Amino acid sequence: MNGEIIAIGRELLMGELVDTNTAYFAQELANAGVTVRWASQVGDDIEHLHEAFERALDRSDVIITSGGLGPTSDDLTREAVASVLGEELTVDRDMVSWIEGVFKERGITEMPRTNIKQANIIPSASFLPNPGGTAPGWWVKNNGSDIFLTPGPPREIKRMWNDHIGPAIRQMTGSGVVHTRILRTAGMTEGGIDEVLSDLFGQENPYLGIYAHTNGIELRIIARAATDDDALAMTEPLEAEIRRRLGPTIWGADNDSAASRLGDLLVGSSMTVGVVDSGTGGTVASMLSHVPDHARWFRGSMVTGPGGSPLATPLLESMLGGPAGRTAGAVSEAAAHQMAVNARQLLGADLGIGITPPSADDDEQMKGTIFVGLSSPDGEKVVRGRFYQSADRALPRAAMFVLTEATRALMADEV
């Protein structure tokens, strides 16, 4: 079953709004067994809308739109569908009463006259309830195609999908299940992974995809089958083969973030973590604090300004102190190790992480190099990475590096 998504609104073609509805519908449609082949943005222009619906009816079984159902004269989605199907719009009195009720609930006793427009409908359509707003949707059935019209606000759309559109479409497709498994990697380039797994790409089901995100290269296995068990049975051998070839390159799966994965490992071994950070400006702490249960294992972090800033207070000195850290802002294996030891001691943590500032050395091999020290009762380790971009790119990447390296060291029982 082929699907098509049309996002409607002048603001989308002016770039005033990023269209997130298309991605939402695309994912939900895929999960419901519909293959989305086309997606487009169209302005509030009756001719363009007419053309878009005509073409969509010609090539797609399910068409789903967002936007253009407001009360103003700009909102032309209803008019365009009526015109393509050659049907007439009439006002539904029950719907008028319902919209009046929504306004009353909001403390507005008189419904603005323009909102009557939202009670318009055509014979081949029925209303889709919208519990979150005044604009009801439409479900149009025409010659084997189904058109679903929804309003623009993402929050309203999600409820309408979950309550009405999703179940209706699943019934049409008699869709089985789609099982998606994400494997998250660190330490290899996209091209490098592509080479190692090249023979595994290209099959339809289970499908294997590779995507470069800001938080690393991710592999995605998508299996369609009649039941959960069947889909899982298709996914698991492929995952096992990928893990065999990539080994410790894979640090997490599915919704794991580097921070949540580290948290899970810490919980598993009843450990806490503390960070002495001169390299990511608190970004490691911030990422750890985003994990819901971090109260159980995150002890805190000390963050200095960038490397080389004078350490005027005894407190800051103690943070980088000890024989190796005596030179403020040192960028060395020894400094990272000492900072990790200090993190354990000063913050009362089991796993200490120390992060040196990035090297300002002009040398090609050193520029932007940071050292990351890991220290626990079970072992110690220092790794190095290079992040020479501007701060807005380097900080999150460096923090991801720190967290994935700590995770991989815990997984390998190195610390």
CB atoms within 10 A of CB 36: 19
Neighbouring-strand partners of residue 66: 7, 150
282 binds its own copies (CB under 8 A): yes
Q: Tell me the window of 122-130, 166-174, 340-348, 375-383 that interacts with its own copies (CB under 8 A).
A: 340-348
Encoded one letter per residue, x for contact with its own copies by CB under 8 A and - for no contact, window 68-97 reads --xxxxx-----------------------
Q: Which stretch binds its own copies (CB under 8 A): 206-214, 237-245, 330-338, 401-409?
A: 206-214
Query: Rounded CA gap, 314 and 321, in Å?
Result: 10
Q: Which residues have CB under 8 Å from 239's CB, separation 6+?
A: 181, 183, 221
CB of 72 to its own copies, least distance (A): 6
CB of 242 to its own copies, least distance (A): 16
- Counting residues that bind its own copies (by CB under 8 A) gives 98
Binding of its own copies by 210 (CB under 8 A): yes
CA distances for 48 relative to 52, 75, 83, 197, angstroms = 6, 13, 12, 44
Taking the C-alpha atoms of residue 301 and residue 118, their distance in angstroms, rounded to an integer, is 54
- Shortest distance in whole angstroms from residue 348 CB to its own copies: 4
Least separation in angstroms between residue 210's CB and its own copies is 7
Q: Which of 3, 5, 52, 9 is nearest to 153 (CA)?
A: 9
- Which listed range, 135-143, 233-241, 307-315, 376-384, lies at the site for its own copies (CB under 8 A)? 307-315
Q: What residues from 350 to 379 belong to the interface with its own copies (CB under 8 A)?
A: 365
Which residue in 24, 202, 203 sits closest to 3, CA to CA? 24
Question: Would you give the binding string for its own copies spanning residues 186-205, x where CB under 8 A is met?
Answer: ---xxxx-xx-----xx---
Q: Give Dmax over CA atoms of the chain in angstroms.
A: 84
Question: Does residue number 169 form part of the binding site for its own copies (CB under 8 A)?
Answer: no
Q: Tell which one of 101, 167, 237, 348 touches its own copies (CB under 8 A).
A: 348
Q: Which of residues 235-264 bind its own copies (CB under 8 A)?
A: none
162: contact with its own copies by CB under 8 A: no
Q: Judge whether 235 and 381 are in contact, CB under 8 Å.
A: no
**78-86, 119-127, 159-167, 184-192 -> range binding its own copies (CB under 8 A):** 184-192
- Contact flag: residue 38 with its own copies (CB under 8 A): yes
- Judging by DSSP bridges, how do beta strands 137-142 and 145-150 pair with one another? antiparallel
Contacting range for its own copies; rule: CB under 8 A; set: 80-88, 138-146, 164-172, 346-354: 346-354
State which of positions 7-36 bind its own copies (CB under 8 A).
10-20, 22-30, 36
Least Cβ distance, residue 114 to its own copies (angstroms): 6
Tokens of 292: 């819901």
Is 116 near its own copies (CB under 8 A)? Answer: no
Task: In angstroms, give the least distance from the CB of 312 to its own copies.
Answer: 4
Q: Of 406, 300, 285, whose CA–CA distance to 343 is shortest?
A: 300
Which of 131, 306, 377, 379 forms a contact with its own copies (CB under 8 A)? 306
Short-list 234, 274, 263, CA closest to 355: 274
Q: Least distance from C-beta 26 to its own copies, angstroms?
A: 3
Q: Judged by CB, which is closer to its own copies: 290, or 326?
A: 290
CB-nearer residue toward its own copies: 294 or 337: 294
Using alpha carbons only, give the angle 10, 29, 38 rounded to the nearest 5 degrees.
Answer: 50
Q: Which of 129, 167, 209, 377 binds its own copies (CB under 8 A)?
A: 209
CA distances from 61 to 24, 50, 68, 170, 355 (A): 19, 17, 21, 13, 55
Interatomic CA distance for residues 74 and 288, integer angstroms: 46
Please give the single-letter amino acid code of residue 177.
V
**Joined tokens for residue 89:** 């719009």
